[in-house]
């Protein structure tokens, strides 16, 4: 009998495949999952119902059919606002608008159809926020409107993280649930990201820069995950911070800003006899829209 070892090229290939697999298994969830159950007025399950969910910004749509138990599920849905339409033979169509889905969200809803013709439609608007009844982690999502409207010192997104419980931030470092800063991980669109290549920080070395990981203009959602976190969050013992970037939509949109500060606009420090000289300018812009409507979009920002 003879034995054969792995040759150099084979070892290299296995190493590359292992590295790719490890990267995939530790990737963060940037999409949402929506489960649902279709019932009739008596509460009985409705199988074979046609279910379509459509992104209100990009018009991307996804289709499912409820199974024998009346259940359906949409996975890997990009974050955004959706409209859900359900049609079944012998029932009025049910259309729910304004469903907001966030990164990593897993939600389940029951949809009751009314008896009638399929040409009739029951519209449900302004539905309540979806509750996570599928997994056990503590999750907080801050949408782009909140990111845009809340006042933040020097446009630093880390100020939003302090809105959650058990979170302390300062000096470019973040602690969650009492765990040291090394226990908090940062990601942008599911890819591990840090302002400091030598540690887990949201700022550059010694907090010397004012743009932390990414510009506010490019953030669509800020999400924190802590508590009993799912396996995909790897070694984030304290918690995980996910930043989701904006995307272009079917309509062109953009913004411009400038944050200007000078000593003439500031009060004198009570411990100083004169005002310290200061000139600070922070400015930028963003723009996004369709390259091909309903198909290809573009978005970019500069700060």
Q: Which of these, 234, 244, 230, lies nearest to 200 by C-alpha position?
A: 234
- In this prediction, what percent of the chain has a pLDDT beyond 70? 79
pLDDT in tens, 174-190: 788 888 777 788 888 88
8 Å CB contact between 150 and 245: no
Q: How confident is the model at residue 137 (pLDDT cuts 50, 70, 90)?
A: low
Q: What is the mean pLDDT of the chain?
A: 81
Q: Which two tokens stand for residue 47?
A: 């199988």
8 Å CB contact between 238 and 150: no
Q: Which two tokens stand for residue 95?
A: 């259309």
pLDDT at 26 over 60: no
For 292, residues 6+ apart whose C-beta sits below 8 A from its C-beta are none
- In this prediction, what percent of the chain has a pLDDT beyond 90? 33
Can you give the pLDDT at residue 197?
64
SS3 122: strand
What does pTM read for this prediction?
A: 0.70
pLDDT at 8 over 90: no
DSSP run (H or E) holding 9: helix 8-25
Backbone angles phi, psi at 252, to 5 degrees: -75, 135
Backbone angles phi, psi at 4, to 5 degrees: -125, 130
Kindly state the average pLDDT of the residues 84-105.
91
SS3 97: strand
pLDDT at 196 over 70: no
């Amino acid at each position: 009998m003879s034995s054969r070892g792995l040759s150099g090229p084979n070892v290299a290939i296995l190493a590359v495949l292992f590295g790719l697999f490890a990267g995939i298994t530790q990737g963060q969830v940037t999409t949402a999952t929506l489960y649902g159950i279709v019932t009739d007025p008596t509460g009985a399950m409705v199988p074979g119902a046609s279910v379509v969910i459509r992104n209100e910004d990009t018009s991307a749509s996804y289709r499912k059919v409820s199974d024998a138990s009346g259940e359906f599920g949409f996975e890997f849905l990009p974050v955004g606002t959706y409209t859900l339409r359900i049609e079944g033979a012998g029932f009025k169509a049910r259309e729910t608008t304004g469903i907001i889905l966030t990164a990593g969200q897993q939600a389940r809803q029951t949809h009751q159809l009314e008896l009638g013709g399929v040409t009739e439609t029951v519209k449900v608007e302004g539905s309540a926020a979806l509750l996570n009844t599928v997994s056990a982690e503590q999750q907080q999502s801050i949408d782009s409107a909140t990111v845009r409207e809340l006042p933040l010192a020097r446009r630093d997104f880390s100020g939003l993280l302090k809105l959650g419980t058990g979170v302390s931030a300062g000096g470019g470092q973040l602690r969650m649930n009492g765990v040291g800063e090394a226990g908090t991980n940062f990601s942008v669109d599911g890819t591990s990201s840090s302002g400091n290549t030598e540690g887990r920080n949201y700022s550059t070395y010694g907090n010397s820069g004012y743009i932390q990981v990414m510009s506010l203009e490019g953030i669509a959602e800020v999400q924190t995950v802590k508590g009993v976190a799912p396996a995909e969050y790897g070694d984030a013992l304290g918690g995980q911070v996910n930043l989701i970037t904006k995307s272009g939509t079917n309509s062109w949109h953009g913004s411009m800003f400038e944050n200007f500060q000078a000593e003439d606009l500031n009060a004198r420090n009570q411990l100083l006899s004169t005002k310290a000289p200061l000139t600070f300018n922070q400015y930028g812009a963003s723009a996004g829209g369709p390259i091909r409507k309903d198909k290809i979009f573009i978005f970019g920002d500069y700060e």
